Amino acid sequence: MVSSQRLYLSRIVTRKSHSLASALVTKSQESIPKSVGCSDSGSTCEAHQLFDEIRDLNVISGTAVIGRFVKQNRHVEAIHAFKRLLYLGIRPNEFTFGTVIGSSSFSRDVKLVIGGFSQTGRNEEAVRTFVDMLREGVVMPNESTFPCTITAISNIASHGGGKSIHACAIKFLGQQYNVFVWNSLISFYSKCGNMEDSVLAFNKLHEQERNIVSWNSMIWGYAHNGRGEEAIAMFEKMIKDTNLKLNSVTLLGVLFACNHTGLIHEGYSYFNKAVNDYDNPNLLQPEHYACMVDMLSRSGHFEEAEKLIKSLPLDPGIGFWKALLGGCKIHSNKRLAELAASKILEMEPRDVSSYVMLSNAYSAVEKWQNVSEIRRKIKETGFKRISGCSWIEVRGQGCVFVNADKSNKQKDEVYRVLSVITQHLIEDLRRLQRVNCLMFNVT
């Protein structure tokens, strides 16, 4: 039975020629240290050592290491090697997944492949793999596979698909989920903007089983959905009713909530408590300082934002200056916009988004010559903005829209609707304020 499972799973994941995969792996194995073939220690550290010894480690040579372990029936080491590949940030391809599925340990650790797809940004493939395995019935889903599948589908915000996975969890697990399943459901519903079902999932999790991830998911859910007061109330309830200690993720969620709902006083208060009161020297990370700079600059408190940047216990990275530049664009602060943009372009000369933000700041104060100079520089240097991407779910089908996309079968209809929406936006802007020379790019 295990053998048939592996055969089927390999077929549904690789979807490629086995002969081509074998050729690639065989060729790459020439660069693998010979110790792979003779060591029988079976230790986790061996995969780490092997990867360190390979001169130019990439996905092909990494897959070859996994394949050699599988060929020697050293399946535990194969799984460890796969995990190490993910840890090193090397994105597995279809051959990698097909090779690791060849390990007999895979049927006990199926979440590795689903999680591997998700961690490398291939969320649709993660969900498709789960659905295919479920349809065939070769591997029954459990409390390990559901969390990584729900996480994958939450990353693409497929509300209908996620509810189907939730229904599947009820079918196979009843309502007796472990905390990992509940936490993934809380996060999924909040990412889809459905805080009501997120609250239901949170309430069904027994109070004593709720961990810091459960509370963080709720705080971030409220924050992302513009419900800052409820995010703060959830945080205060956690501090009052539990013995859990906030961590960096908790604090960042609270600051994010304050930032995006205009609760500046509350945000400053929580930040100062973190600086002075909480008994955790590692609580504050660069992200917290950047969030405070963003909060102050968005609300027009530029003097305080500058003071905070100057008093930082670390070198301000590009994120700090981008946060400041964003606030300058909102409040038309030309002086600070120029300073922030110069700092950003020193660190990343080809950061086209900073040119665009600076141009918008100039246009807000009617510095049209500066706007023209920036546009000319962008055109001369050949800088290109990273294409934006958005999607919507219609009747269970995800529809993806990419900036300047000409490949969509319904592109004519898409651009007609986009033109109508753009005209409405322009008319609204004309009614609300004078026309700004903003750098719209919808073609």
Q: Could you please report the per-residue DSSP string of 110-171?
A: THHHHHHHHHTT-HHHHHHHHHHHHHHTSS---TTHHHHHHHHHHHTT-HHHHHHHHHHHHH
What pLDDT shows up at residue 195?
96
Regarding predicted confidence, which is higher, 94 or 423? 423
d(CA 305, CA 324): 8
Q: Over range 156-178, report the average pLDDT.
A: 89
What pLDDT shows up at residue 55?
67
Regarding predicted confidence, which is higher, 76 or 155? 155
Regarding pTM above 0.75, the answer is: no
What pLDDT shows up at residue 409?
75
Q: Could you please report the per-residue DSSP string of 172-185?
A: HHTT---HHHHHHH
d(CA 338, CA 333): 9
Written as six digits, the tokens of 44 are 């986790």
Please identify which residue in the block is written with the tokens 């589908």.
153
Q: Please give the angle made by the CA atoms of 239, 240 and 241, to the nearest 5 degrees.
A: 100
Q: Could you please report the per-residue DSSP string of 48-107?
A: HHHHHH-TT--HHHHHHHHHHHHHTT-HHHHHHHHHHHHHTTPPP-HHHHHHHHTSTTGG
Rg (CA), the chain: 26
Domain architecture of the chain: domains with CATH = 285-386 (1.25.40), 389-443 (no CATH)
Q: Over range 291-309, report the average pLDDT.
A: 91
* Three-class secondary structure of residue 393 per DSSP: strand
Total Cβ atoms within 10 A of residue 218: 27
- Find the DSSP H helices in 264-351: 264-276, 286-298, 302-310, 318-331, 334-347
d(CA 195, CA 230): 11
d(CA 113, CA 153): 15
Give the confidence band of 163 by pLDDT, cuts at 50, 70, 90. very high
Written as six digits, the tokens of 408 are 């969509």
Predicted confidence (pLDDT) per residue in 334-356, tens digit:
888 888 888 887 887 777 777 77
d(CA 225, CA 73): 49
Q: Over range 143-170, report the average pLDDT.
A: 91
Contact 301, 289 (CB under 8 A): no
- SS3 readout for 354-365: HHHHHHHHHHHC
Tell me which range, 118-132, 210-224, 297-311, 419-433, is most confidently predicted by mean pLDDT: 210-224
Q: Over range 397-401, report the average pLDDT.
A: 69
d(CA 60, CA 62): 5
Provide the 8-state DSSP code for 390: E
Backbone angles phi, psi at 313, to 5 degrees: -80, 15
Predicted confidence (pLDDT) per residue in 61-120, tens digit:
888 888 888 888 787 788 778 877 777 778 777 777 777 666 645 555 667 778 877 887
* Three-class secondary structure of residue 319 per DSSP: helix
